[in-house]
Amino acid sequence: MTSGWPRAAATALQFLTRLPVPGGASADPARFEADLPRALALFPLTGALIGTLTAATLWLASQLWPLPLAVLLALALEARLTGALHEDAVADLCDGFGGGRTPEDVLRIMKDSRIGAFGLLGLAFAIALRAAGLIALPDAATAAVALVVSGWLGRLLMLAAMLAIPPMPGRPGLGGSVASHATPRALALALLLSLPAPLLGLWWDALAMLLALLGSALFLAWFRRLVLRHLGGSTGDCFGFAGYAGLVLTTLAFTAHR
């Protein structure tokens, strides 16, 4: 039986991916609660791992096909790897915020399994921006680095959103349960454990890395106000949306000054 950090790593992988990882705590509520503080600190590192697997797919595919096709294949594999966790959150949040007038309306729409016009357009534009940004990069190597760094920053932004936006009052759920374990210490530890990912970004393209960090900070300030205005507090979909926003913003940062 695993314990401590190995079990926390398995829990983080089980939470963020659909990989058949043994030894986590997702099936045991008591263990899940106990492992969450450490698992949250591993979210950015897990994101960098997801980005690395996606980047490897892109690079291998680029040896056989043009970059645009390699990008689409890599993003398709990533969606399968994560169970489209973030894409689902983007669609739900766009539908809820676009069609709901009160917090109750927003929640009702977000819980509806059907996708509406706002959700469809929001998800389509989010995926298109990310894919187009990767295709616009000069080569597969730069696109691969962007995928690793964006995987890291997207999950770091999730953790930052958990700290910055209080859970929606009176609405207990998985998102609120997870967010309650997010602490400044967990964020600092997450940065330390995943330091190679941002260092890779700085080494490859320092300006792009700084733009990505600045864009993420500005996004978080705006997103916090948006969520509080529409819902009065965050839900799990809010954190998933923040994660995908980090993926898009990092990709656009690497493309910005080309």
pLDDT tens digits along 212-248: 999 999 999 999 999 999 999 899 899 999 999 999 9
What confidence category does residue 167 fall into, taking pLDDT thresholds of 50, 70 and 90? confident
Q: Are 165 and 233 in contact (CB under 8 A)?
A: yes
More confident residue, 66 or 26: 66
Under the banding of pLDDT at 50, 70 and 90, the label for residue 175 is low
Q: What percent of the chain has pLDDT over 90?
A: 72
- Residue 15: the pLDDT is 87
Q: What does the pLDDT read at residue 2?
A: 46
- Asked whether the beta carbons of 24 and 7 are under 8 A apart, the reply is yes
Task: Return the domain boundaries, the chain.
Answer: 37-256
Sequence length of the chain is 258
For 28, list phi and psi in degrees, rounded to 5. Answer: -120, 105
Mean per-residue pLDDT, 136-147 = 97
User: CA–CA separation, 111 vs 93, rounded Å?
Assistant: 10
Rounded CA-CA distance 47/247 in Å is 10
29-38, 60-69, 234-243: range with lowest mean pLDDT: 29-38
Q: Is the pLDDT confidence value at 182 over 90?
A: no
pLDDT at 24: 59
Q: What is the model's pLDDT at position 21? A: 79
Question: How far is 151 from 211, CA to CA, in rounded Å?
Answer: 16
Distance CA 38, CA 2 (A): 14
Cα separation, 176 vs 192, whole angstroms: 25
Which tens digits make up the pLDDT trace of 82-140?
Answer: 999 999 999 999 999 998 889 899 999 998 888 999 999 999 999 999 999 999 999 99
Phi, psi angle pair for 251, to nearest 5°? -60, -45
Has residue 146 got a pLDDT over 80? yes
168: Cβ contacts below 8 Å, ≥ 6 apart: 103, 176, 231, 232, 233, 234, 235
Question: What residues have CB less than 8 Å from 1, skipping those under 6 apart?
Answer: 23
Cβ(6)–Cβ(23) under 8 Å?
yes
Question: Burial level of 110, CB count in 10 A (0-12/13-18/19+)?
Answer: buried
pLDDT of residue 91: 96
Given a cut of 50, whether residue 47 has pLDDT beyond it is: yes
In this predicted structure, the answer to whether residue 55 has a pLDDT above a threshold of 90 is: yes
Task: Return the top range by mean pLDDT from 35-49, 88-102, 144-158.
Answer: 144-158
Cα(25)–Cα(10) distance, rounded to whole angstroms?
Answer: 8
Please state, in angstroms and rounded to a whole number, the distance separating the CA atoms of residues 104 and 18: 31
Query: What confidence score (pLDDT) does residue 183 get?
Result: 87
Q: What is the dihedral of CA 25, 28, 30, 33, to 10 degrees?
A: 40
Residue type, 188: A
Residue 48 in this model has a pLDDT that exceeds 50: yes
Inform me whether the pLDDT recorded for 153 exceeds 70. Answer: yes
Sign of CA dihedral 250, 251, 252, 254: positive
